[in-house]
Amino acid sequence: MTPITTWTGRDATALRQAARMSVTAFAEHLGAARRTVAKWSSQGDNVIPRADMQAALDTVLTRATPEVRERFAALRATGTNGAAASTTPPHPGPDADTGEDSHHSPDSDGDVQRRDFLRSAAVSVAAAPGVGPVLDALVSPQQQPATVLSVQQLSGKVAAVKRDYQACRYERVLDRLGTLLPALEPARTDAEGTQQRQVDVLAAELYHVVGSVLLKLGDRAMALVAAERSTRAAATSQDPVAVAASARIMAHALMSNNHDEQAVTLAADAAGVLDRDTGLASTDAVAVYGALVLRGAVAAARRDDRDTAHTMLDEATRAATRLGYDGNDRWTGFGATNVLLHRVNIALTLGDAGTAITIARTIPLGKVTLAERKAALYVDVARAYTQWGRHEQGLNALRTAYEVAPEEIRCRPAVHRLTNDLAHLATGPVRAAVVDFARTAGIPR
């Protein structure tokens, strides 16, 4: 086995999984905070444990049994979300994982299915139909559309794609974007006076959707390109609410590219500028302000900055109180209930799975009217139960998320990784049920 010179979060997660320990048990074994171990799992190669944890991980590996070391080597070679080693040593030779069960115990069919599922899911990158034309529109010149859209027509089409995104109809979103993006510049050229600024606002909103759906599909680099386009269009519009709204997708894209500190700073600064420029006199301004602060809180939690995360959550709560209702102003879905949804996510990010579940139980589900937000809640609950070692409840939450929004499960690599974790960590009938769910849900093989 190749020696570890510098442990990454992915390596540490592989060792935990090889030892078949929960996040909590592994944290106690190392003498680490539970949220630290959870952070290793969520950030993988993008996080390097500190020096004392490097030494502790070295010690655990040195003292590991040969079986654990073998599983660790296999997991490290394929990735913690790749083909996992079974409880028996893998067969040598070219047909080690062919699925033939003549050398396995009666329970080995589940092992074979699990390995097949994990392997196929690991190589999938959720290549949703229609993503190519969207990427082409971002990086290549496009043919002029046959008909130039009026501002009113463009507004209606942008609103339609926004609604599709919030309903988790991602394939339809991609289809619409492929034809709408090339229509932006001709529409602006044809517009006059203040209508040009209206087109700029619509362009900022449309590129916001592009960035959001690419983040869902795991294309973080191109999402950053789309966020920059949104920011540029918003700045041209000189609409302070549009500028702040575009800062929200930029903060999200920065965060997804592991620039969490910059994301916190951007969200806080943009919220401050919006407050100064508008006095938060409109519901649009309040909603965008609150949504920006929430994005900053999530980024702070990813940095393990608990104080800043909770300070920003409290500020978002004040904004929600000022707004006075759960709405969807400027496509934010912002309100008091949305703040609770973010409290669940942030507790989970900080490694407090129990707190996340407790908060989730207080959320009035009838007020979560957007499918994207409701599905995201159930995915967070599934993650929390998985961290907690309650695999059956985690699977049940994933099933509910699928009922709410099938494409949220089928198209998102992050959900595929969660399903992989469940398939690896669960045992017996629950493990078989996870594999069956993945196939039923259409997670790519």
Q: Is 197 domain-assigned? A: yes
The string of pLDDT tens digits covering residues 58-68 is 888 888 888 88
pLDDT in tens, 23-49: 877 887 787 787 888 889 888 888 888
| Same domain as 342, residue 312 | no
- How large is the average pLDDT for residues 111-122? 43
- pLDDT number for residue 1: 60
Amino acid at 173: V
Rounded to whole angstroms, the Cα distance separating 340 from 338 reads: 5
Distances (CA, A) of 190 to 150, 187, 193: 8, 5, 10
The DSSP secondary structure of 296-321, one letter per residue, reads HHHHHHHTT-HHHHHHHHHHHHHHHH
- Residue 444: the pLDDT is 64
Same domain, yes or no: 308 and 414: no
**Nearest in space to 415 (alpha carbons), one of 433, 428, 425, 401:** 401
Q: Are residues 327 and 344 in the same domain?
A: no
Provide the pLDDT for residue 106. 34
Is 85 a member of any domain? no
Q: What number of other Cβ atoms are within 10 A of residue 103's Cβ?
A: 8
Residue 142: pLDDT band (50, 70, 90) is low
Strands (E) located in 102-183:
none
Q: Is the pLDDT of residue 337 over 80?
A: yes
Cα(362)–Cα(354) distance, integer angstroms: 13
* Tokens, residue 265: 């700073």
**Are 180 and 197 in the same domain?**
yes
Asked whether residue 339 falls in the same domain as residue 420, the answer is yes
Residues 374, 304, single domain; the answer is: no
| Cβ atoms of residues 315 and 362 within 8 Å | no
Residue 165 CA to residue 155 CA, distance in Å, equals 15
Flag whether 248 is in a domain: no
pLDDT surpassing 50 at residue 91: no
317 and 286 share a domain?
yes
Q: Are residues 375 and 429 in the same domain?
A: yes
Are 309 and 268 contained in the same domain?
Answer: yes
Q: Is residue 29 part of a domain?
A: yes
Q: Is the residue at 87 inside a domain?
A: no
Q: Do 179 and 206 sit in the same domain of this protein?
A: yes
Domain boundary, last residue among 304, 334, 364: 334
CATH label of the domain that carries residue 422: 1.25.40
How far is the C-alpha of 328 from the C-alpha of 431, rounded, in Å?
39
Q: List the domain range (segments joined by +) for residue 193.
A: 127-238
Number of domains in the chain: 4
Which is nearest to 379 in space by CA: 404, 343, 352, 354? 404
CA distance 181 to 202: 11
Cβ atoms 434, 422 nearer than 8 A: yes
Q: Specify the pLDDT at position 189.
A: 92
pLDDT digits (tens, 9 = 90+) for 279-311: 999 999 999 999 999 999 999 999 889 999 999
pLDDT-derived band at 84 (thresholds 50, 70, 90) equals very low
Tell me the per-residue pLDDT of 345-400, one tens digit each, with 9 for 90 and over. 999 988 888 999 999 999 999 999 999 999 999 999 999 998 888 999 999 999 99
Q: Is residue 171 over pLDDT 50?
A: yes
92 inside domain = no
Does 101 map to a domain? no
Query: In terms of domains, do 311 and 346 share one?
Result: no
Residues 273 and 287 in one domain: yes
Is 207 domain-assigned? yes
